[in-house]
């Protein structure tokens, strides 16, 4: 089975999700609050200690690409929180899926929004925070509409937290106030600081962060900003408990993760699947495992043909092999697609997607794309040294990780496809 990787510059028009073991378990029942409660029960009550314990036991890591342990972030927010208005924490659900090839957050919003909202809701109450900000993408209006519908359901149902066997909620426990925002269009608009800028009323573009947002974020307050799927994983961890959550996955990496794959026969579509950590890639990809695979999306890494055959869906294992899972975007190449040409096209897209604020990124990415273009064309004047030099010049020299991710992609191509690059340097192409 071959799939076509068109280098997406716009989000997929049709998103299909396959039912999964945890997050995507109830998608057949519809996205309504009633269906969610029928399947998952009332929202669990938890205080801060319980939330931290659950997040640690389940080893919940960020699903936005960086994979930062949520418990550590939450602890930082709690430590820096205070009663004064300047120290009251802020909570942000980041649904601004800026990567065009990714559709997992959109799928969650459209098919299982209350998984995400539950997670934010529980943690908000544990932190004694009354306001939750949700940021949806401008380019996927269906997502914004779905979020609004889901939030309206919650507000109308005055979804009171039930008294469960997890403890009592002490305090007034009044209703949560939800703030919905629409992110700026573009690849970088989903970056954490860009989202915070947007909520603060300024242009939704990255700015330099002198401290992590968990310590000083929105208005200088401790801010817990996490990807939509991360919030859903928190909710699942609290709902299932450590043993239930560990029913899937491995002991080092319990639970599941959402992956976005291109859709066969449907170049404008994407498929979202839920894979338990430790699942063999052969199971996820089928025959595509023998093709070159771009793992982790446009800021990801290349896996050589067949490299994933012996590997599993595991961030730890992939890292050991120099690969990254990022935000779960998996892009196998078709038989007639060349990884060098594809890398060039992606880099050109990333160069155009730069916010244009930081000099090295604004200048370096287009230069890198131009050089890669010469490589893809088989132009003899291209220099391997120049490509590596440019990658080194942009890496780490920007307010956000956009140039870093681009450098990662390019370097990964150079190491994984040394032979193809050599062929291109002499003017040919193997694809």
Partner 1 sequence: MRVDWPVCAARGLCSELLPERIRLDEWGFPIIEGELGEELVGHAQAAVSACPHRALRLIARG
> Contact residues for partner 1 (CB under 8 A)?
205-208, 210, 355, 357-361, 363-364, 393, 397-399
Closest to partner 1 by CB, 264 or 357: 357
Cβ–Cβ under 8 Å, residues 59 and 247:
no
Please, which residues have CB within 8 angstroms of residue 111's CB and are 6 or more apart in sequence? 17, 24, 27, 31
- Nearest-approach distance from CB 2 to partner 1, in angstroms: 41
Measured CA to CA, the distance from residue 256 to residue 254 in angstroms comes to 7
- Nearest-approach distance from CB 357 to partner 1, in angstroms: 4
- Nearest-approach distance from CB 202 to partner 1, in angstroms: 12
- Nearest-approach distance from CB 386 to partner 1, in angstroms: 11
- Nearest-approach distance from CB 62 to partner 1, in angstroms: 23
Angle CA(326)–CA(147)–CA(203) in degrees, nearest 5?
Answer: 65
Closest to partner 1 by CB, 210 or 243: 210
Angle CA(417)–CA(364)–CA(388) in degrees, nearest 5?
Answer: 35
Please, which residues have CB within 8 angstroms of residue 364's CB and are 6 or more apart in sequence? 390, 393, 394, 397, 403
Three-state DSSP state, 365: helix
Q: Which two tokens stand for residue 134?
A: 């949700």
Of 89, 99, 114, nearest to 64 (Cα)?
Answer: 99
Which bin fits 219, alpha (ψ -120 to 50), beta or left (φ > 0)?
A: left
Closest to partner 1 by CB, 6 or 389: 389
Closest to partner 1 by CB, 204 or 364: 364
Closest to partner 1 by CB, 139 or 213: 213
- Nearest-approach distance from CB 203 to partner 1, in angstroms: 11
Cβ–Cβ under 8 Å, residues 214 and 121:
no
Closest to partner 1 by CB, 34 or 211: 211
Looking at residue 221, the DSSP 8-state letter turns out to be S
């Amino acid at each position: 089975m071959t799939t076509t990787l068109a280098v997406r510059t716009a989000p997929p028009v049709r998103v299909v999700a396959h039912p999964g073991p945890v997050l995507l378990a109830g998608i057949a029942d519809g996205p309504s609050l009633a269906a969610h409660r029928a399947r998952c029960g009332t929202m669990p009550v938890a205080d801060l200690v319980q939330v931290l314990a659950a997040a640690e036991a389940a080893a919940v890591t960020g699903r936005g690409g960086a994979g930062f342990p949520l418990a550590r972030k939450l602890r930082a927010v709690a430590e820096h929180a205070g009663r004064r208005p300047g120290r009251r924490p802020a909570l942000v659900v980041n649904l601004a899926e800026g990567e065009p090839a990714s559709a997992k957050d959109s799928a969650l919003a459209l098919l299982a929004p209350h998984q995400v909202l539950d997670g934010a809701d529980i943690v908000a109450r544990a932190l004694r925070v009354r306001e939750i900000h949700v940021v949806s993408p401008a380019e996927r209006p269906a997502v914004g509409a779905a979020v609004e519908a889901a939030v309206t359901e919650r507000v109308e149902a005055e979804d009171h937290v039930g008294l469960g066997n997890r403890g009592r909620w002490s305090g007034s426990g009044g209703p949560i106030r939800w703030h919905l925002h629409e992110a700026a269009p573009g690849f970088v608009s989903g970056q954490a600081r860009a989202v915070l800028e947007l909520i603060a009323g300024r242009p939704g573009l990255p700015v330099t962060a002198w401290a992590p947002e968990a310590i000083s974020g929105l208005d200088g307050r401790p801010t817990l900003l996490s990807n939509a799927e991360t919030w859903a994983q928190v909710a699942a961890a609290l709902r299932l408990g450590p043993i239930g959550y560990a029913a899937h996955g491995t002991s080092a990496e319990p639970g599941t993760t959402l992956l976005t794959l291109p859709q066969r026969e449907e170049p404008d579509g994407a498929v979202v699947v839920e894979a338990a950590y430790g699942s063999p890639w052969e199971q996820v990809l089928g025959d595509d495992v023998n093709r070159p695979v771009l793992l982790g999306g446009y800021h990801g890494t290349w896996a050589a043909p067949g490299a994933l055959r012996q590997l599993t869906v595991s961030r730890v294992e992939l890292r050991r092999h120099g690969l990254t899972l990022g935000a779960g975007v998996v892009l196998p190449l078709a038989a007639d697609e060349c990884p060098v040409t594809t890398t060039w096209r992606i880099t050109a897209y990333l160069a155009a997607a730069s916010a244009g604020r930081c000099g090295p990124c604004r200048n370096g990415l287009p230069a890198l794309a131009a050089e890669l273009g010469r490589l893809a064309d088989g132009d003899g004047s291209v220099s391997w040294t120049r490509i590596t030099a440019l990658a080194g010049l942009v890496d780490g020299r920007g307010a956000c990780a956009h140039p870093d991710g681009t450098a990662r992609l390019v370097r990964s191509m150079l190491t994984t496809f040394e032979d193809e690059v050599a062929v291109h340097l002499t003017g040919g192409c193997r694809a």
